[in-house]
Each structure stands twice: as C-alpha cells, then as structure tokens.
Structure 1
Amino acid sequence: MTSTLPLSPRLPSPLREARDERFGRHGVRLLLKRDDLIHPDLIGNKWRKLVPNIERAGGRALVTFGGAYSNHLRATAAAGRLLGFPTVGVVRGQELADRPLNRSLARCAADGMRLCFVDRATYRRKTEPETLAGILRTAGAEDAYVVPEGGSNTAAVRGCRALGAELRGAADVVAIACGTGGTLAGLAAGLGSGQRALGVPVLKGGFLGAEIQDLQERAFGGRRGEWSLDERFHFGGYARTGPELTAFAEDFEARHGLAVERLYVAKLLYALVTLAGEGAFARGTTVAAVITA
C-alpha cells in the first residue's frame, strides 16, 4: 500500500515462522504476519483503514467512535497528533465521563483528541442521520469528516485489500481477529486463488457475517474471496478476557518472545491452537496469523 502521508510505515509488514509443537504435531505450519510493526503509533489494520480516510478528509477534523478501550480511537488520536489535524472521539457510555480516564482514553486525550461521551442508547443509534447530527452538534464538529466505529467503511475495506495481496502465496489460511469486520472484508478480497481468510470475532452476537458481506458489497459490488468466521472465541465479548486467556497469552509470549495483546490477538491465537488440536487444518496446511496490535 502506498500513501502520501509522511509517517514512514514499514510495508509490507514482516512475516516470520513461529515453530510451535501444538501446530507441528498436526502437520501444520504457523506464520505470524507482524502488522503490529507497521508504525509505532498507527499499528496494523488501523494504519490500513485510517490512511484512505485521512486522505479523503483533506485536513478536516476527524470524528470517530469507540468503546472505552478502543484501539481505533487511540490510533485516530495518534494520527491527529502526527499529522496535525483535530480529532474527536465519541465514546460509548455517558457514565464514563464522571470517572478517571482509563489508560487507553488518557492516551487519546494526551494526543489531543477531544472526548465526547454519549449514553449507550444514543450510541446504538449513532448511524441514524438525526442522531448523528445531534452528536456532531454536541461535539462542535458539524463540518468534520466522520469515520465509523472501528474505521470500517468502503475506503477502509479497499485499503485493507493490500494486506491480502502481501500474503498471496504465503499461506493456505490467513486468520485475523475481527471487531467490525472491515479488515477481513478487504483481506479476503486481496488473497489469491486457493487461499481463504478466517475471522475470529472478539464480540459476541453472531451479526458479523452479514456486516462483512455488506462491506464487501459496498466496496467491491459483491462477495470477494473465500472467508468464514468462527465465533466461539470471544470469551464473553469485547474487552472480556479471564484467567484462561491470560494464562494462554503469557505462555505464548514465553514460547515465542512476542508481546500478545489481550483483546484481539490473544483470542485469535487461542482459536488457532484450538482449531489445530481439533484437526480443522489438514496436514501440510500453512496458517498465517495476522498480528494486528
């Protein structure tokens, strides 16, 4: 992916093998696609999704949405600081306005993002034109460029197609943790013949398949590439982890010298170890795990 933005991304991101007997005993090879190394502040799929939207914004303030631990909000705030444009983060949960900022939101604020907290009922209706207009008025950002929650829109999906192109011929299965589904939609479209994309949703609800289908239809005119979801590994929903996942992540870190982010990456890797143990991958399969954070 090329860009005129002066942020010196490391593209294509590195791809390395992770030797792990939990895969090897089943004849499966594991690769790690280190999208987390693209840029120290705009990591992984956040870079790929934000860049085309920032270019479209043309220097206008950028308004976007997320929960209290949103990696997307953090990346947007960092982009604003690095490139000198204003950012507004609309945060789900009015009650959070009366609490000390958590580490993620504090980083957003330190990077210059103005935080606007809305109640959960309003947040659920944020895509309705009247509700969105009210949010923008409250935030004082009527003329801003709006990026949806998670950064997943047509421009972002097309931007993520480059991720698939970078992995053509490298793996039989390319797996990625999914929040809003935009990265998977683009990734699948960029892969080559005979490759398939596997998404591991980190939210529960069973809605993501339809969302990805819709994103591909809007970006490409129809379904592109071979892709599927396994929705068993959300651990209770977004920002939910628990001791089992924490222990798994710590073990993976010790085995491979890789810092494992808990909300997305740990769930992805846990899913792949489980699937390998279940025999979901035929012997001789190469699986690439996209490390997004």
Structure 2
Amino acid sequence: MDTYDLSALRPRLPSPLEPVEDERFARHGLTLLLKRDDLIHPDLPGNKWRKLALNLRAAAGRPVLTFGGAYSNHLRATAAAGRLLGFPTIGIVRGDELAGRPLNPSLARCAADGMRLEFVDRATYRAKHEPTVLAALLARAPEGAYVVPEGGSNALAAEGCAALGRELSGRADVAAVACGTGGTLAGLAAGFAGRTLGVPVLKGGFLDGEVRALQEAAFGGPRGDWRLDERFHCGGYGRTTPRLDAFAQDFEARHGLAIERLYVAKMLLALVSLAEERAFPPGTRIAAVITGSGDC
C-alpha cells in the first residue's frame, strides 16, 4: 500500500450531519445537528483522522514518534495508522510506574498494532518539548523519526481540521466541539463561517493561548469567531460526575447513540445548559461535533 495515499483507507468524508429531535432545544426554537465525525474511519475516527492525515503525509512512511497518557486515543489511532499503512510507531507514555504493570486495554491495543511503548517519568514527560529531552527520546527511536505532539495538535492538524469547518459552513450557525489540546477547535474555527464554541475538558484556563498559538502557526494569525466555555470540565481531564453520567445516559436513551463520557458528553451538556440559559437566539442551527473520544 502506498504510504502517501491515505485515500486507500477510504475515509467517509464529508462525515454525516444528522438532525435530531430534542425538545430541550426545540422549545427555544433551536435545531440540534450531530456532525458524526466518529464515523469517518473505524480505527481513526473523528478528529483523529483530521488531525493525523496531513501529519502522516508529511511523515511519508517514516517512523512516527508521539506522546500520550495511559488511555490516550491519539496513541491508539497512531498505532492503528502504522499497522494499516505499514510504518513503525513509537509511543512515549506518561508514567514510568506503568512499565512493570500489565498493559491496560488501550495500551494493549497499541502494542498489538505494533507500537513500541516507552514509559517515561512524569517530569521527563512534562519537559518533552525541550530540545535536550526530545533529542534524547529521538536518539532511542529509529533514524529519521517524525514527531507528532501530544494529542496530535500542531499546525498541520489545525489545517486538517479546517475542512471540518468548511463542511459545516452554510449548514449550521454555531459549531461546538470538546477541547483537549485545542487543535480541532483551532482548525474548525478557521474553516467555519459561523460561530464556534469550544468546551475544554481540562481545567486550568490555558487553552485560549494554545488555540491562538496553533492558529498563528497554521494560518499566520487569528481565524474565525470562536470562544471557550470553561464551566463543563466536570473536575478536569478524565473526570466525570454523577450529573454528567446521568445526562449521558439520558441522551443515549433519547437518541440511541452511545456517548463518550470524557469529551463528547461534556460538550453536549454544555449545549443543553446554554440552550436553557437562552444563549442562542431562536432559529439557530447548532452543530455538535461528535469527535469519537479523546485528545481533541
């Protein structure tokens, strides 16, 4: 298979845009649409495909080294891409204490797909962008390895996600997405003609600067009409609450769609809450991006 030709993987693009009947929106004159990016590819769903595609073309078949936590869906997607396209993958995993333990299902899937896992202590992981630390990691990797950052968010990822905004332009007035590392929001806002809402799943208030930096790197400056709502992280990354779990179960029962808890559920909870707050004028078409799970 030609490692440059990602079309050989047959992604489902553009992804479906599905209207759903939900009285919590309808009673305020709003239309809810689900942008089903989770259906793009079974092994590289949603924002994973959009963020990795241009990076994989840039890697051009070279080994890919990337980063993630023990449950990183970005690591899983990268490992799957390596298996499908035939290039080596190396995953730098946060937490050297995990090295002597049985692999969890996420890391076991990475290993089964051929990813070489390297566990590093948390101080080293935090310093992974420093030139000396990165050089040491690359020295242990295959020669010529191409580096993709944590969560896949870099300028190429933002450029890839701009296509998501273009697919929604003219079909929705507001687009909403859960945010982890900010790459999807940076690109979505750049390509979308309406307003974009980012719902961070981490607390800390750092994401605004990250998104601006990604847009500067990808597009040369700010792009699009976007904002963040920091109220719905439910305690931070990897955290849920009884309220969130009950909300997700109710949404699943209403619409027959399994809802990922750590990202998608928080974004949908934000939209329902904002609808109740009358944050959107009647007639607004709201597209909720179903990213699959993880590392947005």
Provide the residue aligned with 1:99 in structure 2. Answer: 101
Provide the residue aligned with 2:209 in structure 1. Answer: 210
Provide the residue aligned with 1:180 in structure 2. Answer: 181
Which letter maps to 1:185?
Answer: A
SS at match of 1:253: helix
Q: Which structure 2 residues correspond to residues 67-82 of structure 1 after superposition, within 5 A? A: 67-82=69-84
Provide the residue aligned with 2:236 in structure 1. Answer: 237
In the alignment, structure 1 segments of 5+ residues that lack a partner are: none
Which letter maps to 1:207?
Answer: F
Deviation readout 1:242-289 (Å, 9 max, x if unpaired): 322122111111110111111111111111111111111111111100
The answer to whether residue 126 in structure 2 is matched with residue 127 in structure 1 is: no
CA distance in 1, matches of 2:9, 2:172: 29
Q: Which structure 2 residues correspond to residues 111-260 of structure 1 after superposition, within 5 A? A: 111-137=113-139, 139-192=140-193, 195-260=194-259
CA distance in 1, matches of 2:55, 2:157: 7
CA distance in 2, matches of 1:243, 1:60: 44
Deviation at 1:142, TM superposition (A): 4.8
Which letter maps to 1:69?
Answer: Y
CA distance in 1, matches of 2:155, 2:80: 22
The answer to whether residue 42 in structure 2 is matched with residue 40 in structure 1 is: yes
Provide the residue aligned with 1:275 in structure 2. Answer: 274
8 Å CA contact 1:158, 1:219 repeated in 2: yes
The answer to whether residue 89 in structure 2 is matched with residue 90 in structure 1 is: no
8 Å CA contact 1:63, 1:141 repeated in 2: no
CA distance in 2, matches of 1:121, 1:235: 26
Which letter maps to 2:220?
Answer: G
Deviation readout 1:108-132 (Å, 9 max, x if unpaired): 1111111111111111110011011
CA distance in 2, matches of 1:77, 1:243: 33
Deviation readout 1:222-245 (Å, 9 max, x if unpaired): 000100000111111111113221
Provide the residue aligned with 1:17 in structure 2. Answer: 19
TM-score, length of structure 2 as denominator length: 0.95
Provide the residue aligned with 2:59 in structure 1. Answer: 57
Runs of 4+, deviation exceeding 4 Å: none
SS at match of 2:53: helix
8 Å CA contact 2:90, 2:141 repeated in 1: no
Count, aligned residues: 288
SS at match of 2:32: strand
8 Å CA contact 2:79, 2:89 repeated in 1: yes
Which letter maps to 2:190?
Answer: A
CA distance in 1, matches of 2:168, 2:226: 15
8 Å CA contact 1:69, 1:239 repeated in 2: no
Which letter maps to 1:30?
Answer: L
In the alignment, structure 2 segments of 5+ residues that lack a partner are: none
Which letter maps to 1:153?
Answer: N
User: Pairwise CA RMSD of aligned residues?
Assistant: 1.1
CA distance in 1, matches of 2:267, 2:150: 21
TM-score, length of structure 1 as denominator length: 0.96
CA distance in 2, matches of 1:95, 1:281: 47
CA distance in 1, matches of 2:40, 2:141: 33
